[in-house]
Amino acid sequence: MKSHRLSKIAGAVVVALGMTTSAMAADTASSIRGTIYGPSGNVAPNTTIVVIHEPTGTRKTVTTNDSGSFLAKGLRVGGPYKVIIDSDEYRDAEVKNVYLSLGETQRVDRQLESDNVETIVVTGSRALFNSNASDSYFNSEDITSTPSLNRDLKDVVRNNPLVVIKPGSESQMTIAGANPRTNSISIDGIPLNDDFGLNNNGYPTQRNPFPLDALDQVTVSVAPTHAKSSGFTGGAVDAVFKSGTNEFHGNMFFERTSDALAGTPKNDGVDVPIEFEEENYGFTLGGPILEDKLFFFAAYEKYDSPQVLEYGPAGSSKGANKTTATVGDVAAVQEIASRVYGVSEIGSAESQPQLEDEKYIIKLDWNINDDHRANFVYMFNEGNDTRNTTTSERELRLDSHWYNNTQELKNYSAKLYSDWTADFSSEISITQKSVETGQVSLRSELGLGDITINNIDTDNDGETGSIAFGSDQFRHSNSLSNDLTILKFDGTYLYEDHAIDFGIDYKILEVENQFLPNSRGTTTFDSLSDFENRLVSEYTYENGLGNDPLAVAANFERKDLALYVNDTWDITDELTLSFGLRYERFSSDDKPTFNQGLLDRTGFDNTFNLDGVDIVLPRFGFTYLYNDDVTFRGSVGRFAGGNPNVWISNSYSNDGVSAQRFGQRDFEAPANILTTPTPDAIAAIDSGTRGSVTNFIDPNFDIPSQWTYMLNSDVTLNIPYLGDGFAWTTTAIYTEKENSAEWINAALLQEGDVVGSTLSGALPFYDTRELEIMLTNADRDGRSVILSTGIAKEWDNGFSFDMSYTNQDITEGNPGGSSTARSNYRFGHFLDHQETQIGTSPYETEHRFVLNLGFKTEFFEGYATRFNLFFERHSGSAYSHLVDLTNLQGGRFFNQDLIQPSGFFTTFGGNYLAYVPTANDPNVRYEGVTEQEVLAHFDSLGLSGFAGSHVDRGQAQSPWVTNLDLYVSQELPGLMDGHKGEVYFVVNNLLNLIDSSKGKVYRQNFDTREVIEMDIDASTGQYIYGDILSDDFTFEARDSAYRIKIGVKYTF
């Protein structure tokens, strides 16, 4: 039995944040735990505790055990709650106005008085805004008053010091510097992260997948101690929807913004006109179906907006950036396509991408009786986003090369919360999530394959460009359906001072993935003249046996089992320990089609499907109340999960047998090649002997994981003249990655495959053309060191502030930034792609400053006015300096397969770190450029320190990013009592409104920058350097201009 320090609890109810147990375990409810003492400090067993949710009248009754402890589980978040302490021996007590936070166990400890005094009533308080690094909490008012232009959950959670939203239209969210695909997002227990892994925004949908006004609370956690938490190695964002009460309540809103309410961004002093118009509207409604018994809540939201075109042809008014391809180049390509190939329509460079989104949720809550309650949630989202627009100045993509990325999300969730005894409670849930994804070329009716024309220069100014049109190779046959079913049982048993949690998770994932590139043919011409004369430099055609794309569909089912147990032990009133253990195991009966040729060539069996792979995840944590003003928290644990399922699906889609691949170079094409595969290609596929690139999983593959060590201090400060109650939090996190994912070419593992190297010895030469990509574990792993400190305060006069600084030092091997095995192998920023090279992670944010200022007052009595200002300044993402291996000698370097096999006639240069020469360097010779020019170029990039060697991975940083966003709202009288109107506006990038030269946003595409064209002399091993490249940063026009959103809302 624990010891007690009565001075800490006598006559007090503990409701401060420092005395909560931070479970943060993807919970959908809250808990109240406490210990009841008698007047002399002795425990008070058999005391009745009644917990009442006042908005609904829901009651939960428990009894203290022999240790005087009680635990009320499965409570709705929020409040207010009233806690009645009913003792047969001592004077009763009440605690009013208790508010509960999602995933938290609120402490209510009480020392009762003797029976000769009246009932003591103590008033608690609403949980305050909390944004410390290790875990953050945001209530509904925090959510609605966040300066959010896009009504996105990410705009809320960016208040956490470890959450960074990267520049760009997809708004990638990194938590603690991790790959955005490794985060977990769940609402009411429904997983809403992009678990398959095709979207860069982290969602399974185009935008925020639910109406923002539907949220009641949101939490962000990094490395939670509870063993119930899993499915991520970045961070977990958990939220819960609002619920109906005994009173009808709701709202209606309408928002609008357009280029008329925005500035004109300037790139290098040149105006970049942007055209857009956005409208967003929706409503919420909640209330009783049966008073005190059955409640409903519903929310709806609709969004529609044309998007800003990132790149347009030089000489055109379209596009925030310009390509080297010009309007004249486009006209020349269109004319030749019509005259030579008989294709009158190949697409336009003047179109505008579109983004549409519609969503709604319905939630039912049922108080079955005092011991059991249930809820049901249905969620729907449908959206479309135009993708594959031009992303580089080197290649212009006509709208026929774009595609519509359509996604439909349907979610169902049902939960039953039960109290079986005073000491044992449970939660049973079933969740079903279905996502249908379509990727259809924008101009698919034209029937075009993928066509690219390089080295176009109609105005003879020396600036060559490429133009691509037709359905891009990855959209020729591409659709996805993935269904996830989750069955869960969670139990809690209170034994003396131990809260013992245990449970089982069972997930069933069903995937139908139709992905077959090049099934319409992919054709490359080396020049406009070659295009006119039908001289193809490279042609690729791929299809299933019998020229049937459906023969390559990846259909498989995987089942994941997880068991966990966790003990939260209140050793003393000051010290709580948490011990947890989680076990996870994968199983599957579906295997990829066996590839005998791969086995013969490499010795590897490609049918491994993770069946039987398992992992053990131990956790430990503590919370120590040093005194009333200082609390220490710490944890150590192993975490796994979050790796996208598409990495597994690749081995089913690319078994090397079901798909056949044909490649041909340097030939005269038939006149119908733009729309029809060549006769030779069709015949080759029919022969069934061509094979294809194989993706497979290493039979010895281990689940990637990481060990995370964390230490926090929470200090309450009193600062003279400024006030008391300043909350100062400091967090230190150290993470060691283990068994990180890596992709290598299994065809290069045989003895004798290496036949030489460059003169510098850095790039080995290989004697093979095969490409057999194996997902395996890296031989070296990265690590991260993070330090964050912040201070916050709320004053009674309505002012509040929250300020933090965070430093990250993160390294890793392959960042795993792509959904395809080939791209993850190709784009790793290495010297030798067969070896893991550790470098600075592109997801690191080395420095980040955040400041939140808030003010709430009533300029008109009874009608609130709110001001919220969000400021952040953070360093840019790390990127690598690379060489361009594709252009020096007519679009193809010496023999690409010597340093990275392409497999089947596909130009596959890959990403290689640049070598920085010294003066008179024997490793380099120059073609069309002087040594002095090259040395000066590297010096201008700050790379002279690497002279005589290759640059490090991720040694450069894109420019710093500064955000300043403002939210202002004013309540107005409604049409009847209890109703209120509201007008509000959001200013995004307020700095740019103040000064048009400020607030500019630049980023480096794909975290790489090509600095020079390079070839290799195979006989001498020398690098051959050619044209110097000016691969500038991408200017984010929309993010670089102020934008104002105006909204109206009516609340009842």
User: What is the span of the domain harbouring residue 66?
Assistant: 6-128
- Quote the CA–CA distance of 775 and 773 in Å, as a whole number: 7
Q: What is the pLDDT of residue 122?
A: 58
pLDDT exceeds cutoff 80 at 810:
yes
Confidence of residue 642 (pLDDT cuts 50, 70, 90): confident
**Which SS3 state, helix, strand or coil, does residue 41 take?**
coil
- Quote the CA–CA distance of 417 and 392 in Å, as a whole number: 53
Rounded mean pLDDT of 175-195? 90
- Quote the CA–CA distance of 922 and 6 in Å, as a whole number: 79
Which phi and psi angles does 474 have, rounded to 5°? -85, -5
Q: Specify whether the CB–CB gap between 868 and 854 falls below 8 A.
A: yes
Q: What is the pLDDT of residue 751?
A: 62
976: tokens are 């009847």
C-alpha distance across the termini of the chain, in Å = 51
Number of domains in the chain: 1
Q: Specify whether the CB–CB gap between 289 and 358 falls below 8 A.
A: no
> Hey, CA dihedral for 828, 830, 832, 836, is it positive or negative?
negative
- Quote the CA–CA distance of 51 and 33 in Å, as a whole number: 11
Examine residue 80 and say whether the peptide bond preceding it is cis (omega within 30 degrees of 0).
Answer: yes
Q: What type of residue is 867?
A: F
- Quote the CA–CA distance of 52 and 848 in Å, as a whole number: 43
Q: What is the pLDDT of residue 807?
A: 98
Q: What is the pLDDT of residue 54?
A: 87
Q: What pLDDT, in 10s, does the model give residues 915-964?
A: 999 999 999 999 889 999 999 999 999 999 999 999 998 889 999 999 99
The candidate with the shortest Cα–Cα distance to 507, out of 223, 230, 697, 206, is 230
Q: What is the pLDDT of residue 471?
A: 93
Q: What is the pLDDT of residue 905?
A: 33
Q: Is 741 inside a domain boundary?
A: no
pLDDT exceeds cutoff 80 at 603:
yes
Q: Is 530 inside a domain boundary?
A: no
Within 38-101, residue ranges assigned H as helices are: none
Which phi and psi angles does 1048 have, rounded to 5°? -130, 145
Average pLDDT, the chain: 87
Q: What pLDDT, in 10s, does the model give residues 367-390?
A: 999 999 999 999 999 998 888 887
CA atoms within 13 A on the CB side of 795: 14
pLDDT exceeds cutoff 70 at 447:
yes
Q: Specify whether the CB–CB gap between 328 and 315 falls below 8 A.
A: yes
839: tokens are 């470098």
Higher-pLDDT residue of 25 and 1007 is: 1007
Question: Is the pTM above the cut of 0.75?
Answer: yes
Q: 523: which strand partners?
A: 451, 539
- Quote the CA–CA distance of 327 and 309 in Å, as a whole number: 15
Q: What is the pLDDT of residue 900?
A: 46
Rounded mean pLDDT of 563-592? 95
Rounded mean pLDDT of 11-38? 61
- Quote the CA–CA distance of 186 and 240 in Å, as a whole number: 8
pLDDT exceeds cutoff 80 at 460:
no
Find all residues with CB under 8 Å of 722, minimum gap 6, and list them.
793
- Quote the CA–CA distance of 892 and 455 in Å, as a whole number: 12
pLDDT exceeds cutoff 90 at 459:
no
- Quote the CA–CA distance of 294 and 627 in Å, as a whole number: 44
Confidence of residue 355 (pLDDT cuts 50, 70, 90): confident
User: How many C-beta atoms lie closer than 10 Å to residue 25's C-beta?
Assistant: 22
Rounded mean pLDDT of 334-356? 89
Burial of 280 (0-12, 13-18, 19+ CB in 10 A): buried
pLDDT exceeds cutoff 90 at 433:
yes
Residue with tokens 């609120």: 106
Confidence of residue 26 (pLDDT cuts 50, 70, 90): low
pLDDT exceeds cutoff 80 at 214:
yes
Q: Is 118 inside a domain boundary?
A: yes
Confidence of residue 118 (pLDDT cuts 50, 70, 90): low
The candidate with the shortest Cα–Cα distance to 573, out of 519, 491, 628, 492, is 628
- Quote the CA–CA distance of 621 and 616 in Å, as a whole number: 17
Which phi and psi angles does 1044 have, rounded to 5°? -115, 130
Rg (CA), the chain: 31
pLDDT exceeds cutoff 50 at 17:
no
Q: Specify whether the CB–CB gap between 696 and 606 falls below 8 A.
A: yes
625: tokens are 């109340």
Q: Provide the CATH number for the domain around residue 91.
A: 2.60.40.1120
Q: What is the pLDDT of residue 133?
A: 66
Q: Specify whether the CB–CB gap between 128 and 53 falls below 8 A.
A: no
- Quote the CA–CA distance of 914 and 198 in Å, as a whole number: 30
The candidate with the shortest Cα–Cα distance to 880, out of 909, 843, 911, is 911
Strand stretches in 41-101, DSSP E: 48-53, 58-63, 69-75, 78-86, 93-100
Pairing of strands 120-123, 93-100: parallel
Q: Could you tell me how far CA 295 lies from the centroid of its own chain? A: 33
Number of H helices, E strands in the chain: 10, 66
167: tokens are 């520049």
Q: Is 574 inside a domain boundary?
A: no
Q: What pLDDT, in 10s, does the model give residues 727-766?
A: 999 999 999 999 999 998 888 887 666 777 777 777 777 7
Burial of 977 (0-12, 13-18, 19+ CB in 10 A): exposed
Q: What is the pLDDT of residue 216?
A: 93
The candidate with the shortest Cα–Cα distance to 471, out of 438, 448, 445, is 448
pLDDT exceeds cutoff 70 at 511:
yes
Q: Specify whether the CB–CB gap between 1023 and 758 falls below 8 A.
A: yes
Q: Specify whether the CB–CB gap between 638 and 584 falls below 8 A.
A: no
Q: What pLDDT, in 10s, does the model give residues 771-782?
A: 889 999 999 999
Pairing of strands 236-241, 184-187: parallel
Residue with tokens 């060697």: 949
Q: What is the pLDDT of residue 986?
A: 96
> Hey, CA dihedral for 55, 56, 59, 60, is it positive or negative?
negative
Rounded mean pLDDT of 258-277? 85
Q: What is the pLDDT of residue 979?
A: 95
Q: What is the pLDDT of residue 531?
A: 94
Which phi and psi angles does 898 have, rounded to 5°? -70, -30
Residue with tokens 């710093």: 960
Most confident of 63-67, 785-789, 896-900: 785-789
- Quote the CA–CA distance of 653 and 549 in Å, as a whole number: 11
Give me the percent of the chain exceeding a pLDDT of 70: 92
DSSP, residue by residue, 641-677: ----THHHHHHHH-BSSSEEEEEEEEEEPPTTTTTS-
- Quote the CA–CA distance of 374 and 365 in Å, as a whole number: 6
The candidate with the shortest Cα–Cα distance to 305, out of 1050, 1045, 1049, is 1045
Q: What is the pLDDT of residue 388?
A: 81
Q: Specify whether the CB–CB gap between 395 and 452 falls below 8 A.
A: yes
Q: What is the pLDDT of residue 676?
A: 93
- Quote the CA–CA distance of 780 and 812 in Å, as a whole number: 9
161: tokens are 């010091």
**Which SS3 state, helix, strand or coil, does residue 620 take?**
strand
Rounded mean pLDDT of 258-269? 87
Residue with tokens 């005894």: 421
Q: 256: which strand partners?
A: 279, 1046
Q: What is the pLDDT of residue 1019?
A: 78
Q: What is the pLDDT of residue 910?
A: 59
Q: What pLDDT, in 10s, does the model give residues 148-167?
A: 999 999 999 999 999 999 88
